[in-house]
Chain A
Amino acid sequence: MNLLEKIDAAAAARKALLPNGVGAFGIPIEEVYSATEARIGDRRVLLLGTNNYLGLTFAPECIQAAHEAIDKEGTGTTGSRMANGSYFGHRALEKEFADFYQCNSSIVFTTGYQANLGTISGLVGPGDTVLIDGDSHASIYDGCILSGADIIRFKHNDVTDMEKRLRRLGDRVETTLIIAEGIYSMLGDQAPLAEIVKLKNAYGCILLLDEAHSLGVLGETGQGLVEKTGLLQEVDFITGTFSKSLCSIGGFCVSNHPQLEQLRYISHPYIFTASPSPATIASTRAALELLRKGSHLRKQLWDNCTQLYSALKEAGYVLGPDPGPVIAAVVDTPQQALLLWQQLLEHNIYVNLILPPAAPEGKSLVRCSVNAAHTEDQIRYVGDTFAKLYSVISSHS
């Protein structure tokens, strides 16, 4: 089988799972009306698959900042910061992130994906070890692979299993990086950070926490799980993304370790890519300001999360262990998930379809992401629709 035939075989497998041209992945969105509504085909749909947790995609402050940046600095930087220089906005945003996390250093990356790639591959290399949660995001796996370090997985959120694997490493713990996530993207559950920190200190490792889904969502000022648990000073490196609560694109790493600055000179995902555009940086800076003072947005978000989680639970769905902005209905088969996804779209609700092997433990997920801009009526409609569809899904094998 040649290279192109291999791709054809993968395409055939995908078509077998998604017959009749069902476009569950990369669905065409024709118009976006607001943080909660868009048009798919000829349907005006409710958006529950966007990770837009604080609902800031149309915040006037962010839009105005982006407009002004384009007028002043143009549409793009046309190169990397290493070669083309760091604009005022890049440096200002890094200072603001360092200030937000009360850290000495901060680096902004062009995407959240690259933030993990660049940080992990800069921190560890061949001969070192990374100990990662089994449900880690692909950017963490890819960062580990890029680094050349030995990759060991522990069972998802299982600190007993994690300690067993730490013990087996023996002297190698000294050059081991532990990686966990504030909120996991598939089931929406949170890392047991206090126990992880305890083990990290006992074994003398370095800990990196990815707050991609928890930034803006957890903690009084939205720092994430580090703030909710009061463990900010115990985590060595924090990464995150601009593409969820901050409604743009990009990523960051903050740390009190001065060595973070050296990553600018060794991290390929930082060096060999174009830097974020002026408009992206400007809207991110405006959004970060809104996020920091957005306790009312977090309250609204959590009210919405609790409302939808309770409705789905009451309807009989199997959900992740914690209510939160990611609420995933777990079903047994890809066919059930696909049917539920299609039926929800028929009812003008857009959610995410997650099939094996992306979903944990061979299950399939229909994943909702709730945001602060959803109204009580919108959430009620989504909950009622899920409830109405429960018997249809349960009887479908």
Chain B
Amino acid sequence: MTDSNYDEIMQLLCDRLSSLTNTNAQISPETNLISQLSIDSIKLLNLIMEVEDTFDISIPINALADVQTVRELVDLVHKIKSAS
């Protein structure tokens, strides 16, 4: 996968997170999903289903245990998409 793909995933996730959390705050790669966006577990799981459908991949939700920031979420999606 090229960097443009990585950027595409980053843009998509930032847009969706902004919409899900109804925040006007700037979402950056280092934004913490829990402490800064207060995204609850169900919203995050539903977002993962959307991302799976967008990129036609399977993202095991147990992999989210290591995800705290937007960048870590993008890295996870990028890694799975690259391997698919």
Contacts and interface: CB of A to CB of B under 8 A. Distances in A.
Interface of A: 129, 134, 144-145, 148-153, 155, 164-165, 168-169, 356-357, 362
Contacts of A150: 58, 60, 62-63
Contact of B57 (A129, A151, A168, A356): A168
14 contacts: A134-B46, A134-B49, A149-B62, A150-B60, A150-B63, A151-B62, A152-B58, A152-B59, A152-B60, A153-B45, A168-B52, A168-B56, A169-B58, A362-B42
B61 interface: yes
A145 B52 contact: no
B34 to A, nearest CB: 11
Contacts of A362: 42-43
Interface of B: 40-43, 45-46, 48-49, 52-53, 56-63
B42 A153 contact: no
Contacts of B56: 168
Contacts of B63: 150
Nearest to A9: B35
Contacts of A149: 62
A177 B49 CA distance: 18
B40 A357 contact: yes
B62 A145 contact: yes
Nearest to B57: A168
Nearest to B44: A357
A257 B30 CA distance: 49
Interface of A, secondary structure class, is: mixed
Nearest to B53: A164
A168 to B, nearest CB: 5
B43 A357 contact: yes
Contacts of A165: 52, 58
Contacts of B61: 151-153
Contacts of B40: 356-357
A357 B42 CA distance: 6
Given A153-B45, A165-B52, A357-B40, 8 more contacts: A145-B62, A149-B62, A150-B60, A152-B59, A152-B61, A153-B48, A168-B56, A357-B43
A152 B61 CA distance: 6
Contacts of A168: 52, 56-58
Nearest to A132: B61
Contacts of B49: 134, 153, 155
B15 to A, nearest CB: 19
A357 B52 contact: no
B81 to A, nearest CB: 12
Contacts of A357: 40-43
B63 to A, nearest CB: 8
Given A165-B52, A357-B40, A134 B58 contact: no
B21 to A, nearest CB: 12
Contacts of B42: 356-357, 362
